[in-house]
Amino acid sequence: MTYKSFGYWLTAFCALAGLLAGYWFTVGRVEARLASASERITLPDAPSIVYLTPALDSQDFIDASISAQKDVVILHSWDAVRKLAGERLIDALVIRNAAIERLSEENAAWMRSLADKGAVMVGIGVEDDTFAQLLGLRTFRVPGEADVPLGPSGYRLSQRYILGQSAEDVSKVAQQNWFERMLHGEGDPAAPAQIARPMLITTGTQRGELKTRQDIELFFHQIRTAIIDMYQQKADFHRQTTGKE
């Protein structure tokens, strides 16, 4: 069985007082955020996956039937997405290229803030560098990687978040353009010599195509796996840093 999808991630560990900081990488610089006591760390029974498309038509790879099967909320405007986000946490936002074409700077800033909270962000039919730059990155590609167009059936999945006990540590790491440093072997910005308290940094990316039913099954598997892993990381970090379940 062959899947038309590929991604990359690296894992490095920073041990501090018996705690580990793990990495799952994407390209570029990300903003920092702190875990808060009110933040949800338990995986919900039904993770919130939203598909934003101006209108369902023959070009959509997620239709009403798939939405019902996969428990996906279909919305048709950025206002509707932001309204929903005010009512509940969004775990994944899937965006069709036509919705990106109508993206205001205000909504782009909001989209980046959602990404900084760890939401899985997916662009369908959006060119790689365009989607990367909307998320505040330079590019998803590593040095030497060819710029292969995604095309209308291609997608890019991205996720990132930073958890830390010290606002100073989190800010320090975020300001170091840490992923590109790691890619070029320029040192670990979260090494014990540079941070005072434990932290966890996670970010990653995958790309693939949506042409067959098998592709769609893999697509939702990737999204749900990323969501589950995020909640597991949050729960583990909470337990290791507080001693509480």
Segments in the chain forming alpha helices (H): 64-70, 78-87, 97-101, 105-116, 128-134, 167-174, 178-183, 213-242
Residue-wise pLDDT for 125-150, tens only, equals 999 989 988 988 888 887 788 888 98
Query: Does residue 223 contact residue 157 with C-beta atoms inside 8 Å?
Result: yes
Q: Tell me phi and psi for residue 195, to 5 degrees.
A: -125, 150
Closest Cα to residue 206, out of 143, 155, 160? 155
Integer Cα distance of 40 and 47 in angstroms:
12
The percent of residues above 90 in pLDDT, for the chain, comes to: 36
pLDDT at 40: 67
Classify each residue of 171-189 as buried b or exposed e, where b means 16 or more C-beta atoms within 10 Å of its C-beta: ebbbebebbbebeeeeebb
Domain extent listing, the chain:
5-242
Integer Cα distance of 43 and 76 in angstroms:
26
pLDDT band at 201 (very low <50, low <70, confident <90, very high): confident
What six digits make up the tokens of 166? Answer: 């010290």
pTM of the full structure: 0.80
Residue-wise pLDDT for 97-126, tens only, equals 999 988 999 999 999 989 888 899 999 999
Residue-wise pLDDT for 21-57, tens only, equals 333 333 333 333 433 333 567 777 788 999 999 988 8
Integer Cα distance of 88 and 91 in angstroms:
9
> Looking at residues 196-219, what average pLDDT do you find?
85
User: Chain-centre distance of CA 41, in angstroms?
Assistant: 16
pLDDT at 56: 82
pLDDT band at 178 (very low <50, low <70, confident <90, very high): low
Query: Kind of pairing, strands 49-52 and 72-75?
Result: parallel
pLDDT at 100: 92
The partner residues of 206 in beta bridges, in order of sequence, read 7, 157
User: Chain-centre distance of CA 166, in angstroms?
Assistant: 22
Residue-wise pLDDT for 7-25, tens only, equals 444 333 343 333 333 333 3
The number of residues in the chain equals: 245
SS3 55: coil
pLDDT band at 203 (very low <50, low <70, confident <90, very high): confident
Integer Cα distance of 182 and 225 in angstroms:
24
Top-confidence range, 112-116, 163-167, 188-192: 112-116
pLDDT band at 237 (very low <50, low <70, confident <90, very high): confident
> Looking at residues 168-185, what average pLDDT do you find?
64
The percent of residues above 70 in pLDDT, for the chain, comes to: 75
Residue-wise pLDDT for 73-101, tens only, equals 999 999 999 999 999 999 999 999 999 98
